[in-house]
Amino acid sequence: MRKRKNNNNKTIYAILILACVVGFWVFENFYTPDTYSDPKSDGVRTNLPNYLLPSSTTGQLVKHEHFMLSYSEPYEQAEWVAYTLKKGHLTNDDRKRPYFIEDPKVKTKSADWRNYKGSGYDRGHLCPAGDRRFSEYAYNETFYTSNVSPQDRNFNAGVWNRLEMQVRRWAKRYDEVFVITAGILEADLVEIGEEDVAVPRYYYKIIARGTKDNLKVLGFLMEGRESTKALKSFLVPVDLIEKQTGIDFFQDLSDDLENTLEVQVNSSGWRF
């Protein structure tokens, strides 16, 4: 009788272990958490100036509460993410990192976070989570997979992070800056995951400040690997980024003003 009871216990334990293994595998491969809480309960929203928004080559514009993007389905990431960074946004509020989840507003479905597993690439935020600590929802919103791009770990934690910190310093100094950023999406890129998420070779960031009639603009273009070069060495005309992306930045400005801002590098008035 005791032997039969021991056998029954072993069978139960084996079934429980099998159930745990299957449950963990299902969680890892199929489970995606629900979308984040209703932003209406947050009571905070970040408005973007329409005259600074770029064109979309894909027609798939997505507007969130605290940033906006143009999603490119063939590359499974945004061709640009745009956001405003104000001095008041920069807080040290402690936030718990949420899951990366698919963007419910991307009609074609944004890439699953599992594409990055084992790839050797970081899920590099485009609108940084560190710029959105002022609100729990704003922080969580940056973890939609539409807001990430594969980045080399040393690049993400190195020169790219240095540029993000410099943008924060400008926001503190000048009260507000407008940022447009993403990877350069082009042919023949390395791809990762089952959904073939493209790995950009280069990443850009455009920063603007001032009024519509008195804008100051900087454009940065960086190869996706670590560098110890000064940030100024990555400055390029916005016109060059337009040629490489096919995106028309500052399309709502007058042609004369747009040409003046985009054809040259002018870092005067920016403190590095």
For 167-182, write each residue's pLDDT tens digit: 999 999 999 999 999 9
pLDDT in the model for residue 161: 98
125 given a catalytic annotation: yes
What pLDDT score does 101 carry?
A: 94
CA distance 256 to 128: 32
Sheet bearing 214-223, strands edge to edge: 61-63, 68-72, 77-86, 176-183, 202-211, 214-223
Q: Indicate if the pLDDT at residue 25 is higher than 60.
A: no
Mean pLDDT for the chain?
90
pLDDT at residue 60 in the model: 97
Query: How confident is the model at residue 37, as a pLDDT?
Result: 59
Number of H helices, E strands in the chain: 6, 10
Which candidate, 43, 62, 130, 44, places its Cα nearest to that of 102? 62
**pLDDT tens, residue by residue, 123-156:** 999 999 999 999 999 999 999 999 999 999 999 9
**pLDDT higher than 50, residue 31:** no
Domain ranges for the chain: 46-262
Q: Please state, in angstroms and rounded to a whole number, the distance separating the CA atoms of residues 210 and 232.
A: 20
For residue 125, the surrounding DSSP H or E stretch is strand 121-125
Residue in 64, 66, 89, 125 annotated catalytic: 125
pLDDT at position 213 is: 86
pTM of the model: 0.87
CB neighbours of residue 41 within 10 Å: 8
Reported CATH class of domain 46-262: alpha beta
Q: How far apart are CA 233 and CA 247, in angstroms?
A: 23
Pairwise CA distance, residues 56 & 246, whole Å: 9
Q: How do residues 238-255 score in pLDDT, each as one tens digit? A: 999 999 999 999 999 999
- Is the per-residue pLDDT at 30 higher than 80? no
pLDDT tens for 203-241 read: 999 999 999 889 999 999 999 999 999 999 999 999 999
| Region 80-96 average pLDDT | 96
DSSP H helices in the chain: 2-29, 136-141, 153-157, 159-174, 238-245, 255-262
Question: What string of DSSP letters covers 152-215?
Answer: EHHHHHTHHHHHHHHHHHHHHHHSEEEEEEEE---SS-EEETTTTEEE-SEEEEEEEEEETTEE
* pLDDT at residue 5, as a whole number: 55
* Cα–Cα distance, 18 to 15 (Å, whole number): 5
Q: What percent of the chain has pLDDT over 70?
A: 84
Per-residue model confidence (pLDDT) at position 44:
77
Band (3; pLDDT cuts 50, 70, 90): low
- Rounded to whole angstroms, the Cα distance separating 186 from 8 reads 60
**135, 141, 208, 243 from 184: Cα distances, Å:** 30, 23, 19, 10
Residue 79 has what pLDDT? 98
